[in-house]
Amino acid sequence: MVESRQFFLIMKVAKYITVFVFCAAGAAQAYQPTFADLAVFWAKGFFGSYVNPEASMERCVEFLNQQGVCFSFFDLMDGSGIEREDFARVFGQSNLLCCGEAEILNGSIKKPVEAETWVDYCLLNDIDFEPAWDRIVQLTAEGSLPEVREYFKK
């Protein structure tokens, strides 16, 4: 049987380990890319042949919205982080646009009916968006992209 003093020592060490693990996990997830980051990243990356490398965040969003890869004003101003589903939507809409299969409804490229979600669409069409996801996470590890910081500084 463990003595009471040893038990409390073990519990104290376990508490510190738990706190350390949660802090380390929180530090790794300190910043999550936003819709504004995604718009700049995507417009200048995927559509880099059409968007000036010096384009502002506003210009990147305007270009994408004109193509049917839509970003709402609310999402851009909200500043909350994007999820993989958001990223898959942008990737999927861009794929449909480039393949000439985009069906635009109310200014936005529609998700094909055979896929329940945009992640499903990417999986069904062998679209691996993970490397691009990893890249945007890496680029924004220290915070928003410069174009986004500049916009919100105004």
| 62-99 pLDDT, tens digit each | 999 999 999 999 999 988 899 989 999 999 999 999 99
How far apart are the C-alpha atoms of 24 and 111, rounded to whole Å?
37
| 109-144 pLDDT, tens digit each | 999 999 999 999 999 999 998 999 999 999 999 999
Bridge partners (DSSP) of residue 105 are 108
| 11-57 pLDDT, tens digit each | 444 444 443 444 444 444 568 999 999 999 999 999 999 999 999 99
